[in-house]
Amino acid sequence: MIMNSALGRDAREDLISRGYSRRQFGRVSALLGIGAAVSTGGLAFPGRSAIAAPGQARTLARPDLSGMIRIGTNECWTGPFPAAALAGADMVQHGNRYEPSDLRQRLIDNVATVEKVPVSHIVPWPGSSDPLARAIVTFCSPTRGVVTADPTFEEAWVTAAWLKIKVSKVALRPDNHYATDVRAMLAADPNAGLYYVCSPNNPTGTVTPVADIAWLVENKPAGSIVLIDEAYLHFAGTPSAAYLATQGKDVVVLRTFSKIFGMAGLRLGLSMARPDLHERMMRYDGRMQSGALSVVALAAGGASVLLASDIVARRQEMIDAREATFAHLKSRGITHLPSNANMFMVDWGKPAADMKAAFAAQQIDIGRDWKIWPTRSRITVGSASEMKSFCSALDKIMV
Ligand SMILES: Cc1ncc(COP(=O)(O)O)c(C=O)c1O
């Protein structure tokens, strides 16, 4: 599916009033035109614009990992929950209809029930990369920057940098379980347009207490928002910040079905926010509201959110595999950061890029390093057997 990337008059006027130059329109169009179809985790699908937006360039450069153990890109080790897969498969039979039944509304209703967020505050998307990039365009500008942790999921800062928006990066807090340092974020740019908090954080898997996020929401400058990316929340099982959206605060809370729900290739995500914030995010492309979503993804996603005991069981399966891996690392004297989610940072004490190559030679794709930590690799927690293979390969590499 390719979205029309031409910006309407209202959208152009909005961008100009917030300090964007006409020369940046092409970049905004490219970003939003492809954002619907492409994500860092999804399939490549070039948009109409001649300009390659950041997500597109990365996705097109993705290496072929077939035949390898894949613990490098934070996908789930297995597919959708069985009941969700059945709901999706059933919908394939009805794929001749644009709207076989009101699947979009059913997904929203189910999310509202589970999350205790009003239906008016929930918008589904084809993944969460689109609303993330869109939030940068909407709430940041050449005069209002973005603030993120470092390391964190880079989509926010890569998008902002590409649009020539100021990016401020703040170190995590080693003194507080590597949580996001919300006070330092505010100090880094007291007039930012968007503060991005990823909790649990990618790549560390560490959680920022909801009380810290609420503090940032109360103390941030007027006219800005706090974007809370909860892509990995179900893997941690910790409280959500979604109640801040219910209270009508200046927040956008993002979720994805690409992680614990095992639907990365099916493309489904959610944002939860006050309706006026969503309206602003959608002014660049009103058609996003309905036409863009696959009925298979909607059916599988709508079923997934209700499967509370499956979620708990999958989380426990991940924790068991993660803790067994930690025990092995400890036995070898290799350190890692603490983690509450399905990924962790291991410190090799030597260039992480070399270790990635050494694992690749053993047919194991591990994650990459972040510039700020060149000796640490991100490892995604795979199945118990994949993590055993990781440990065996490590033993061979470290002899
Ligand atoms: C923190 C975080 N947010 C958002 C995304 C985007 O995921 P998707 O577009 O598949 O929903 C990812 C993907 O890895 C992620 O790690």
CATH number for region 69-76+308-397: 3.90.1150.10
Ligand 1 site, residue 40, Cβ cutoff 6 A: yes
Ligand 1 site, residue 342, Cβ cutoff 6 A: no
Average pLDDT over residues 216-222: 98
Cα 397 to ligand 1 centre (Å): 31
What tens digit of pLDDT does each residue of 8-44 get? Answer: 888 889 999 999 998 888 888 888 774 443 444 332 2
Cα 351 to ligand 1 centre (Å): 26
Instruction: Determine the distance from the C-alpha atom of residue 287 to the mean position of all C-alpha atoms in its chain, rounded to a whole number.
Output: 22
Burial class (CB in 10 A: 0-12, 13-18, 19+), 82: exposed
As a whole-number percent, the residues of the chain with pLDDT over 90 amount to 80
Choice from 43, 74, 258, 267 to test ligand 1 binding pocket (greatest atom count within 8 A of CB)? 258
Contact 167, 161 (CB under 8 A): yes
User: How high is the mean pLDDT of the chain?
Assistant: 91
What tens digit of pLDDT does each residue of 111-150 get? Answer: 999 999 999 999 999 999 999 999 999 999 999 999 999 9
Task: Identify the pLDDT of residue 3.
Answer: 41
What tens digit of pLDDT does each residue of 228-268 get? Answer: 999 999 999 999 999 999 999 999 999 999 999 999 999 99
Q: 82-304, what's its fold?
A: Aspartate Aminotransferase; domain 2 (3.40.640)
Between CA 254 and CA 23, with CA 165 as vertex, the angle to 5 degrees is: 115
Q: What are the residue ranges spanned by the domains of the chain?
A: 9-60, 69-76+308-397, 82-304
Choice from 34, 58, 155 to test ligand 1 binding pocket (greatest atom count within 8 A of CB)? 155
The CA-atom distances, in angstroms, between 160 and each of 59, 141, 163 are 18, 9, 5
71 φ/ψ angles, rounded to the nearest 5 degrees: -125, 40
Cα 41 to ligand 1 centre (Å): 7
The CA-atom distances, in angstroms, between 161 and each of 133, 202, 239 are 11, 19, 31
Query: Which residue, by CA, sits nearest to atom 6 of ligand 1?
Result: 129
Average pLDDT over residues 157-174: 95
